[in-house]
A and B are shown apart, each in its own frame.
Chain A
Amino acid sequence: MKTLVWVEHDGATVKDATLAVVTAASQLGEVHLIVAGQGVDAVAAEAAKIAGVGKVHVADDAAYAHALAENVAPLIVQLMGDHDAVLFPATSGGKNIAPRVAALLDVMQISDILSVESEDTFTRPIYAGNAIATVQTKDAKKVITVRGTAFAKAAAEGGSGAVEAVATTGDIGVSTYVGSEIAKSERPELTSAKIIVSGGRALGSGEQFHALIDPLADKLGAGVGASRAAVDAGYAPNDYQVGQTGKIVAPEVYVAVGISGAIQHLAGMKDSKTIIAINKDEDAPIFQVADIGLVGDLFKIVPELTEKL
């Protein structure tokens, strides 16, 4: 089976999420990549070095500069004449494009797979991760998004894929990119961080969130996350949100501070290797999944913990 992987990048480097998708694709067959963008020679060269990659298709055109789904989807559909499956990371970028590709190919997409059982059978979470479904597809072409935390990352070095330019499909002219606001952070990216410190509504304010969570995260070299409640209350930006409707993470250590542990939040972090919970309510549901729990006032515990580390 020939599989195609859409490479997520920021115009300069390949995003980490792509590496896990390559691993999933390699379980299906020969792996080809598609790098679409404007001025993406460096990205294509980097992509070609990913271990296990056979070929890197490059589509360099202004129409792909901001990965608008309207323009990228026809390009991928064109490449599906020669491929049996196309895989995307289940990131905001992948989720935006993949279903459009599936509809144009008249196939049902399989979202957010956790494993490849065979070439037509996959597992995926439903109901906020409270159930795992095994699904089999009857479609000849497969369109799949991959949960990054469920697959090991392919090595970024060691491969020697052949880079090949492909015909571009142009701008279909229905959408225009206006601009973006990307938060700058010195800390590890949430979905690839080994340690995450997350804060909830109990922190009480944005100031307290930063005053307590940030120093602890810095001490541990951790990424910073938040519950939906903390984000909705404005204590942390939207892209910090961990949960069914935010980011799905599975770090080595997840420290949940002042988070009760609603179903929605657990869906985003319950595959973490070790979960540590700090909460004053000893009946909080978070303690049912936590490996190590400490019951007490976070305003006393967190500063003490930060100091003693």
Chain B
Amino acid sequence: MKVLVPVKRVLDYNVKPRVKADGTGVDLANVKMSMNPFDEIAVEEAIRLKDKGVTEIVVVSIGEQKAQETLRTALAMGADRAILVVSDEKVEPLGVAKLLKAIVDEEKPDLVILGKQAIDDDNNQTGQMLAGLLGVGQATFASKVELTADSVTVTREVDGGSETETLKLPAIVTTDLRLNEPRYASLPNIMKAKSKPMAQKTAADYGVDVAPRLTTLKVVEPAKRSAGIKVADVDELVGKLKAMGVAK
């Protein structure tokens, strides 16, 4: 059984993003980039499914050459081979989903596991779009995945609790935070990952039009909150709450 895991290179989640003064976007020059945290969870889940009949894990990334580093990280965690679709332009989720569809058509994986959202654009779209394009089942926000030979049963985190669905394979799963705890790549595995195969492609190789549909007119900082006050004790806090009408 083959699993495909798309991964994205994003601004590291610990870094506070800085909006460029000219309003064109967020400054990504000389800042730490890492694998999107939800994608790490997706890679980890694919590796854990290796005991359950998964024989090959292919990781894919779409973006600039530097996305190679992200793919090497996934290979060091335990993926078998990688595909990099090089694009200097930013590709929107719809374009990514179309490229992934072309790759799925070629690779024929039984399962595709993606992160539920990338922490840069916060879109939460790609997995659902891919499932729609392929006409297959989707289980978003997964917190538990049980794989059998012809189906996958997924517990999903929904508002108010959880929900369980069974999908026919092939299927699409997107990961939520509590699906698993991703492993760290060990030094020997990082060394080994350097010799694992990585194919380089372009969007044109797949005949996919990735021209953007959205234009970002400007990016600004959110409104700043005005500085607050500190109260000395509970009595003063209760007084404030009463003044606001929150407490009687």
Question: A: which residues have CB within 8 A of B?
Answer: 66, 68-70, 73, 91-93, 95-104, 106-112, 121, 125-139, 172-183, 191, 195, 219-220, 228, 231-232, 237-239, 244-245, 247, 252-253, 263-264, 270, 274-276, 282, 287, 289-295, 301, 304-305, 308-309
Contacts of A66 in B (CB 8 A): 163
Q: Hey, what's the 0/1 contact readout for B87-113 against A, CB within 8 Å counting as 1?
A: 000001110010000000000000000
With a cutoff of 8 Å between Cβ atoms, the chain A residues found around residue B62 in the complex are none
Q: A126-B26, A138-B213, A290-B228 are in contact. Are A131 and B220 (CB under 8 A)?
A: yes
> For chain B, which range describes its interface: under 10, 10 to 19, 20 to 34, or 35 or more residues?
35 or more
- Cβ-defined contact, B16 with A68, below 8 A: no
Q: Measured between C-beta atoms, what is the minimum distance from A210 to chain B in Å? A: 18
Q: Is B188 an interface residue (CB 8 A)?
A: no
Q: Are B214 and A177 in contact (CB under 8 A)?
A: no
Subset of 19 A-B contacts with CB under 8 Å? A73-B132, A91-B159, A99-B127, A102-B125, A103-B129, A108-B212, A109-B123, A109-B129, A111-B122, A111-B125, A130-B26, A174-B137, A239-B159, A245-B116, A253-B241, A264-B13, A292-B237, A305-B234, A309-B238
Asked if B11 lies at the interface with its beta carbon under 8 angstroms from chain A, I say yes
Complex CA gap A301/B234 in Å reads 7
What is the interface of chain B, defined by CB distance below 8 A to chain A?
11, 13, 16-17, 19, 26, 92-94, 97, 116-117, 119-133, 135-141, 143, 153, 156-168, 171, 176-178, 212-222, 225, 228-231, 233-235, 237-238, 240-241, 244, 246-248
Assess the B163–A125 pair: CB atoms within 8 A.
no
Q: A177-B165, A239-B157, A292-B240 are in contact. Are A136 and B214 (CB under 8 A)?
A: yes
Closest beta carbon of chain A to B105's beta carbon, Å:
15
Q: Nearest chain A CB to B218's CB is how many angstroms away?
A: 5
Q: List 13 extra interface pairs beyond A175-B138, A178-B153, A244-B122, CB under 8 A.
A: A107-B213, A121-B217, A125-B222, A127-B122, A131-B26, A135-B215, A175-B139, A191-B159, A245-B177, A253-B244, A264-B13, A270-B225, A304-B234
**Do residues B228 and A101 form an inter-chain contact, with CB atoms below 8 A?**
no
Chain B's closest residue to A178 (CB) is B164
Contact status A126-B153, CB under 8 Å: no
Which B residues are in CB contact (< 8 Å) with A138? 213-215
CB distance from B98 to the nearest CB of A (A): 9
The CA-CA distance from A203 to B5 in the complex, in Å, is: 37
How many angstroms from the CA of A234 to the CA of B114 in the assembled complex? 25
| CB-defined contacts of B219 to chain A, threshold 8 Å | 126, 131-134
* Most A Cβ at <10 Å: residue of B13, B92, B159, B246: B159
Q: Which residues of A contact B234 (CB under 8 A)?
A: 294, 301, 304-305, 308
In the bound complex, do residue A130 and residue B16 qualify as a contact, i.e. CB atoms below 8 Å apart?
yes
CA distance A182 to B41 in the complex (A): 25
Residues on B with beta carbons closer than 8 Å to the beta carbon of A101 = 132
